[in-house]
Structure 1
Amino acid sequence: MRVPERLSVAVELLGVRPDERVLEVGCGRGVAAALMCERLARGRLVAIDRSAAAVAAARARNAAKVDAGRAEFRQLALADADPASLGTYDGILAVDVNLFWTGPATRELAVVGQSLRPGGRLLLCFAPPRGRAVGPLESALLRHLRDAGFHAGAAQRPLADGGTLLAVSARHRTPSSDESAEHGG
């Protein structure tokens, strides 16, 4: 199966390390999950999606990693997740998950903030249809992340099909990092 370029670029940008815990939001049929599992020699992937059919397909695609205890797939909407039962992660990835692009995603970003370990990273990627302006999406998302307590930056990557991948990386602000910034540290 050919891996969509936006997924391979997103996984590369997340920079999954072998011993990390990673959460994928909106895992679909498990293609990006499979790419991340290849990198997780000692780590673990948890992937969620609202669709039962997508979760079943992702679980089947990644059956060896599921059987080895390296991957878990759950039917769950991020807004419905309890951060305490979801766990904590070194990295969280979402590719083409519209809720982040269509509104402030206040509840979802709160769950993400509580689910990131100190120093953990969030990567939100979106490949809009060709001809759609990326700038307004980027501005809105950066504003939503800032309002939710994240430091964030964005980059646009050209794709071979002529499209663009908007990649927004973020880290959750912590009181200690905010205090040190206020005191010149």
Structure 2
Amino acid sequence: MSAYAWDAEDYARHSTAQKRWAGELSERLALRGDERVLDLGCGDGLIAAQLATALPCGSVVGVDSSAAMIALARRRYPAERHPNLSFQIMDAQTLSFDARFDRVFSNAVLHWLKDHPAVLAGLHRSLRPGGKLLLGMGGQGDVADMRATLESVIAAAEWSEYFQDFEFPYTFPSPADYRHWLQAAGFSVRRAELLPKDATHDGSAGLAAWIRTTWLPYSQRLPESRREAFIQNVVEAYLLRIPLDDSGLAHVAMVLLEVEADKLGDERMDTT
């Protein structure tokens, strides 16, 4: 994620669905109030701050690879007002914690990454014995209509020169993928399931804002002067495929993968 120039303020304004789903997912942590929690890919820090409020005798560390996101999180939730909350710039694929946390939470982050086994190995090291992780990410079949739209747009003569040798930048794993990776990393899998979601956006402008703030691997292939025209082209093509509803809302069918697992002792790890 750090390879892209994130506009943290813009993302914070146009990530309503991600935050709603993160809030719903975080309820499954069932916190007592004294746990140490890692929020992996904390973005602007909102969910990490909500978790910290629920942990009067615990703490939260939010990490993100984007310096802009961490800077915004620190401005919004300064240590003097949130003494049990801190933020660090860190790549999820190279975590440096050692048996520090009781819980790991992550939402709408891991589909950005390619090396999930490396992430899970780092999470295993980061958790204390008996620790638990709760992960939500784009899963198998996610954003199929938007992906098809983007493929058609970038193949058009107007844009194709910018997408030579372009590879799809996201990883949308299946439950079977994740069960295998978790078990190999030393976790006992409690749940790995795909959940359909309907992301709604306020008309063409709302859809454009979502594309602008989250589809950076596409838009940032272009010169800055051409990005808005590209985004509008994507919006128009998508709405021809999936029109606005009678209330003027744009709908994007999504598929999320939710995962829950417990840390096993190192002696039980499958190293095959």
Matches within 5 A, 1:7-22: 7-22=22-37
Q: Give TM-score scaled by structure 1 length.
A: 0.78
Higher mean displacement: 160-169 or 2-11? 160-169
Query: Deviation digits for residues 106-132 of structure 1, max 9, x if unmatched?
Result: 332222111111111011101454448
Taking every aligned residue pair, what percent have the same amino acid on both sides? Answer: 29
Q: Do the aligned partners of 1:5 and 1:159 also contact (CA within 8 Å) in 2?
A: no
1:96 aligns with 2:187: no
* Residue aligning to 1:182: none
How many pairs align?
171
1:151 aligns with 2:188: yes
**Could you list the runs of 5+ residues in structure 1 that have no partner in the other structure?**
179-185
Q: 2:123 aligns with which of 112, 124, 137?
A: 112
AA matched with 1:62: Y
Matches within 5 A, 1:10-159: 10-63=25-78, 66-67=79-80, 68-84=82-98, 88-98=100-110, 102-103=114-115, 105-127=116-138, 129-131=142-144, 137-152=174-189, 153-159=191-197
Q: Do the aligned partners of 2:186 and 2:266 also contact (CA within 8 Å) in 1?
A: no
Question: What is the alpha-carbon distance in structure 2 between the residues aligned to residue 55 and residue 90 of structure 1?
Answer: 22
Question: What is the alpha-carbon distance in structure 2 between the residues aligned to residue 39 and residue 164 of structure 1?
Answer: 29
Question: What is the alpha-carbon distance in structure 1 between the residues aligned to residue 110 and residue 261 of structure 2?
Answer: 17
AA matched with 1:123: L
Structure number with greater CO (CA < 8 Å, separation at least 6) is 2
Question: What is the alpha-carbon distance in structure 2 between the residues aligned to residue 165 and residue 81 of structure 1?
Answer: 24
Question: What is the alpha-carbon distance in structure 1 between the residues aligned to residue 54 and residue 61 of structure 2?
Answer: 14
**Could you list the runs of 5+ residues in structure 2 that have no partner in the other structure?**
1-12, 146-171, 200-252
Runs of 4+ in 1 over 3 A off after TM superposition: 99-103, 127-132, 155-165
Pairwise CA RMSD of aligned residues?
A: 2.7
Q: Give TM-score scaled by structure 2 length.
A: 0.55
AA matched with 2:96: D
Question: What is the alpha-carbon distance in structure 2 between the residues aligned to residue 60 and residue 16 of structure 1?
Answer: 26
